[in-house]
Amino acid sequence: MVDIDLNKKYLIEPKCAPFKVIEVLGAKTENGTNIQIYNLGEGLHQYFKLVYAEPSYYYIEPCHCNNKRIDVRYSEVKNGANIHLWEKHPPEKTVDLRAQKFKLVPSKNNANYYYICSYLNDNFCIDVQSSGKSNGTNVWLYEKNYSEAQEFRFIDSLSAAIYYAEKYSEEGNRNPRYKSYSSNCMNFCSQCVYAGGVTEDKVWYNGSVSFINI
């Protein structure tokens, strides 16, 4: 049974790379933008929502832009077919839509993890290339092999903020993305809120007075 709230936005974390999540490269919005894994806490381009497509299948849409979905490049069903960003196809383009539909199948190995299987062929699913753990590791389609590179969990925004706090509150484990300040407690709280999917604006952003002190 799939336990996903369609009203929430989620980070998608691979079992093979804890604290790394799927993201849209560089927060870009162009068709063909690559999908990769990167450290949690980098921005709204790491959040996705699931949209009902048909029984058992969903579209996976990025939260940082409209009119885009996760898509299997060229609708290819083969090992290594790339996963990228593409515009939403209209309902009449039924062939193209097949590349944008995915089924969540509960992992047989780990509770609360799922295989994200393609509508094109249920035996192929989203996979982290070579079970990589490094920032920038590619995400592609691969034949189901039940490895941890194909198991993903969905983390809602509140859980993500807590997860970030637990990770970087450990002594000697400060996130190098952020400078250290005398008022670093509030700076850290802002980091947690940002990791939870709150977007920066002209007043509240990394390094600003409001980010550091409020």
Instruction: Name which of 129, 140, 49 is nearest 88 in CA terms.
Output: 49
Q: At what angle do helices 184-195 and 157-168 cross, to 10 degrees?
A: 140
Query: Can you tell me the distance from the alpha carbon of 152 to that of 166, in angstroms, rounded to the nearest whole number?
Result: 20
Among 39-53, 153-167, 200-214, the least confident range? 200-214
Residue 65 corresponds to which tokens in the numbers above?
Answer: 């832009």
- % pLDDT > 70, the chain: 98
Query: Is the sign of the CA dihedral 77, 83, 86, 89 positive or negative?
Result: positive
152/3: higher pLDDT: 152
Query: Can you tell me the distance from the alpha carbon of 209 to that of 205, in angstroms, rounded to the nearest whole number?
Result: 8
Query: Can you tell me the distance from the alpha carbon of 204 to that of 84, in angstroms, rounded to the nearest whole number?
Result: 30
Query: Can you tell me the distance from the alpha carbon of 132 to that of 17, in angstroms, rounded to the nearest whole number?
Result: 7
Residue 83 corresponds to which tokens in the numbers above?
Answer: 């996963």
Tell me: pLDDT of 10 over 80. yes
Residue 93 pLDDT grade (very low, low, confident, very high; cuts 50, 70, 90): confident
Q: Which tens digit of pLDDT belongs to each residue from 17-62?
A: 999 999 999 999 999 999 999 999 999 999 999 999 999 999 999 9
User: pLDDT at position 183, please?
Assistant: 65
The residues near 198 (Cβ < 8 Å, ≥ 6 apart) are: none
User: pLDDT at position 2, please?
Assistant: 63
The mean of the pLDDT values for the chain is 94
Q: Residue 10: in which H helix or E strand, if any?
A: strand 10-14
Q: Is the pTM of this model over 0.85?
A: yes
Residue 171 pLDDT grade (very low, low, confident, very high; cuts 50, 70, 90): confident
Tell me: pLDDT of 185 over 80. yes
Burial of 42 (0-12, 13-18, 19+ CB in 10 A): middle
Tell me: pLDDT of 152 over 90. yes
Residue 80 backbone zone (phi > 0: left; psi -120 to 50: alpha; other: beta): left
Residue 141 corresponds to which tokens in the numbers above?
Answer: 């389609």
